[in-house]
Structure 1
Amino acid sequence: MGLRRGKTKTILESSIDSALLAVEIYNKPRTVFRVENYITLMVMAWTRLFHAHFNNTIGDKYYYKSGKKYKLVDGERKAWELNESIRKYGQLTESEEKNLRLFIALRNKIEHRHIEKETLDTLIFGECQALLYNFENTLVKLFGEDYAINENLAFSLQFSRFITKEQRQAQKNMLSSEVQDLVAYINKYRSELSEDVFNSQEYSIKLIAIPKVASASRNDLSVEFIKWESFNPEEQAEVQKVTAIVKDKIIRVEAVNAGRYKPSSVVKLVKENGMADFSINHHTALWQKFGVRPTNNADDPFDTNTKFCYYDQAHNDYLYTNNWVSFIIQLFELDKMRLEDLKTSNNINVTLSVSDFE
């Protein structure tokens, strides 16, 4: 579907430009803030893709309203953000949506962080690749093959030397606490996916690089993509044998709540350490003051300080860590805070910095 010059085409071209720039930045190994920029630009590309679709189908109506009036930001109508656009579109598969929502959450988490680390690059490579593939598939679905962008992309070159187990462990040990929080968040997010979604190519592209040592023709491509669905069951079984040899085994532990506590258990532990008057109300005031978790019905319930708290999706509540219990205890043991400071009248809406009290 060729679009005439107009608002829809302008938004769509901006979406495609954002995606191409994201890939260009990601494929430059010495680029500063490589992963951060890729995620930010791809979220922008997806948002503009949906806006182009809405403009093309329902017109200039993809904005938030309060009653009959549009919500304004700096005098401009506030357009639907990506979360809302996904909901309004309503045609993504579960795997596509889970992939996209992961990056929305990561975009929010990395806004004020520097995460340029090889370990994190490797950790989310499959999701990054799926995010791009899903974008192009949706682009073509909405606007036709004329707007396919795969012909503009090339495979990035890879170094072949393997990183030793000891080197990789040393890199992990050097990760900042902020990056460790992100890694913990990603692993937690994956652990709550169904097996079908986790194994889907729409959620994460799993690739195995095997040198192509022979070819029937010297004109053949050096790189070929073969769809998994094109293999018969016997061929799929053979590939699975290969993957068992060349890939690290990922063990997904289901006991994700070990060592985590409900609020009542936190209160009990704090009381056992000398704070007999500590209550649930005091605990609520503390997590609010230190921004440990979002409020109920927040847009992103996973947006927690994972050093202290995790969202338990299965039970739609929050669990707290040993670090949180220790933090509370030392607050009072070292007289950094008093119970009187936790009264609701004491400006409870002001968020305090954890680092100022550690």
Structure 2
Amino acid sequence: MITLRQGKAKTILESSINSAFTAVETYNRPRTSFRIENYIILMIIAWTKLFHAYFQATIGERYFYKEKNGRFKRIDGEKKAWELAECIKNYQKYQTDDKLSEAVMANLKFFIGIRNKIEHRYWDSSTLDILLFGECQSLLYNYENLVVELFGSDYSINISLAYALQFSHLRAPQQLKAQRELLSKDMQDIKKYIDKYKTDLPQEVYDSQEYSVKLLQIPKISNTNRTDLAVEFVNWNSLSEEDRENYNKITTIIKDKIVKQNVSNANMLKPIAVRNAVKEKTGEEISQSNHTDLWKAFSVRPGTKSDAKFDTVIKYCVYDEPHNDYLYTSEWVDFIVRLVTKYGFNKGNIHSKCNGILKVEDFD
């Protein structure tokens, strides 16, 4: 879990959360024009800024595009940051353990395609409501889960969201209108995109709540305790097969999602721990200067006086901003072990072998 202090990453994250709040507020406002279209666009912004906050906190300002001459690309004077698709690709690359699931990525890529199709078209929002409700709900659930996973429960947004009120007697006319709208040329085009996208998904992804939440909502009319909640959610994973069949017919079902809470700097190593681990695995006792020679030769991190402190090879090393030093991964230990056991690096020759820039891929 990343601990944020006042600074750019915190500001970007707060902007992301505000965009998500506005998206939900817009979606739940019944007479708003372009309701679902605005929700999708604002949630795309929220997701993009969430990734930007993560990158800002972990790799610094390396999530901006650069020209061939090394200068930042600019649009209207502003640095051009990675768009959502590029953010997803790089997040998967930098993460070693907690990558986005296939279903979460399918949901995000689905909405990137939808966003591109709705930007220059108009139709009644109730049409898209019927087609996309489950995917829209998962887009929000997945966002909430990743915010908490990356930055902690202090940034949870669900306590601020209310269950939207429904006008059930209006539902049938709205659905009829939406069904007529499906005959329009523009809607046929987007319907074709939606149907093809869903058809191409693996069954396990399509069935996942992370791709699309499937809810069945029915009024609760039986006698209940007066202290009962008006809305109840059932833990799907705890039900028997018989109960599942019954609940499929009569109540609201939501699968429980396990959110993994990461500990800040978990499993990260200081230089002395790296050296001890190498000694334990190989018997070779490398010195601190040996270790310095290695990270310099393989460009694993910047020099001590460098201003680009976040410019590290994430697989092997990260900058620990609160302590103003660097921590190393178990992959870095494994790499040094391979240098010792396979390529003959040892305490006596590391300095001479590291006389120049070396490429990691040459020693894989």
Q: TM-score range by the shorter chain?
A: 0.5 to 0.7
Residue among 142, 167, 180 paired with 1:173: 180
Match of 1:41 in 2: 42
Alignment-derived partner of residue 15 in structure 1: 16
Per the alignment, residue 28 of structure 2 pairs with: 27
TM-aligned CA distance change 1:201 to 1:15, over 3 Å: same
| Letter paired with 2:156 | A
What is the CA distance between 1:106 and its match in structure 2? 1.0
| Alpha-carbon separation, structure 2, partners of 1:159 and 1:169 | 15
**1:215: Cα distance to partner?**
6.4
Q: Cα gap change, 1:215/1:82 in structure 2, threshold over 3 Å: closer, same or farther?
A: farther
The alpha-carbon deviation at position 163 of structure 1 amounts to: 5.2
Q: Which secondary structure does the structure 2 equivalent of 1:66 belong to?
A: coil
- Residue 81 (str. 1) matches residue 89 (str. 2): no
Q: Which amino acid aligns with 1:140?
A: V
Cα pair distance change 1:170/1:71, threshold 3 Å: closer
Structure 2 residue aligned with 1:256: none
Alpha-carbon displacement from aligned partner over 1:162-194 (angstroms, at most 9, x marks no partner): 755x98456433443112211121111111111
Contact 2:35/2:125, CA 8 A, preserved across alignment: no
* CA distance 1:111–1:196, change in 2 (3 Å): same
Change beyond 3 A, Cα 1:172–1:148: same
Q: TM-score, normalised by structure 1?
A: 0.63
Task: String of CA shifts for 1:205-261, please: whole Å, max 9, x gaps.
Answer: 000112223466422221122232232333223334558xxxxxxxxxxxxxxxxxx
Kindly report which structure 2 residues correspond to 1:124-139, keeping only aligned pairs within 5 A, or say none.
Answer: 124-139=132-147
In the alignment, the residues of structure 2 paired with residue 129 and residue 179 of structure 1 have an alpha-carbon distance, to the nearest angstrom, of: 21
Contact 2:108-2:139 within 8 A present in 1 as well: yes
Partners in 1 of 2:177 and 2:14 — Cα distance? 43
Secondary structure at 1:65 match in 2: coil
Given the superposition, is the C-alpha separation of residues 58 and 169 from structure 1 closer, same or farther in structure 2, using an over 3 Å criterion? Answer: same
Preserved contact between residue 36 and residue 114 of structure 1 (Cα < 8 Å): no
Give the whole-Å Cα distance in 2 for the aligned partners of 1:203 and 1:34.
21
- 1:65 to 1:93, Cα distance in 2 relative to 1, 3 A: same
1:185 maps to 2:186: no
Secondary structure at the aligned position of 1:9 is classed as helix
Q: Deviations over 1:106-158 (max 9, x none)?
A: 11111111233322211100000000000000000000011100010001111
Give the paired residue count: 242
1:203 is matched with: 211
Question: What residue identity is the alignment partner of 1:29?
Answer: P
How many Å apart are 1:3 and its aligned residue? 2.6
Q: SS at 2:123's partner residue?
A: coil
1:15–1:46 Cα contact (<8 Å) kept: yes
User: In structure 2, how many angstroms separate the alpha carbons of the residues matched to 1:163 and 1:156?
Assistant: 14
1:51 aligns with 2:58: no
Distance in 2 between the 1:213 and 1:10 partners? 46
Higher mean C-alpha displacement, 138-147 vs 60-69? 60-69
State how far apart, in whole Å, the 2-side matches of 1:142 and 1:180 are.
Answer: 39
CA distance, structure 2, for counterparts of residue 214 and residue 167 of structure 1: 28
SS at match of 1:20: helix
Paired residue type of 1:220? D
CA deviation vs aligned residue, 1:291-341 (integer Å, no higher than 9, x gap) = xxxxxxxxxxxxxxxxxxxxxxxxxxxxxxxxxxxxxxxxxxxxxxxxxxx
> In the alignment, is residue 120 of structure 1 matched against residue 113 of structure 2?
no
1:234–1:172 distance in 2 versus 1, CA, 3 Å: closer
Gaps of 5+ in 1: 244-358
Give the SS at the match of 1:101. Answer: helix
Return the alpha-carbon distance in structure 2 between the equivalents of residues 189 and 181 of structure 1: 12
Q: Does the CA contact (< 8 Å) of 1:36 and 1:115 recur in 2?
A: no
* Cα RMSD after superposing both structures: 2.1
Note if contact 2:218-2:250 (Cα within 8 Å) is conserved in structure 1: no
Give the conservation status (yes or no) of the 8 Å contact 2:127–2:181: no
Instruction: Provide the secondary structure at the position in 2 that maps to 1:10.
Output: helix
How many Å separate the matches in 1 of 2:202 and 2:120? Answer: 31
The equivalent residue for 1:237 is: 245
Label 1:61 to 1:12 Cα distance change in 2 as closer, same or farther (>3 A).
same
Q: Distance in 1 between matches of 2:150 and 2:45?
A: 17
Correspondence 1:203-282 to 2 at 5 A:
203-214=211-222, 217-240=225-248
Q: Distance in 1 between matches of 2:29 and 2:148?
A: 26
* 1:2 Cα offset (Å): 5.3
Letter in 1 for 2:62: K
User: Are the aligned partners of 1:62 and 1:79 in contact in 2 as well (CA < 8 Å)?
Assistant: yes
Q: Cα gap change, 1:20/1:171 in structure 2, threshold over 3 Å: closer, same or farther?
A: closer
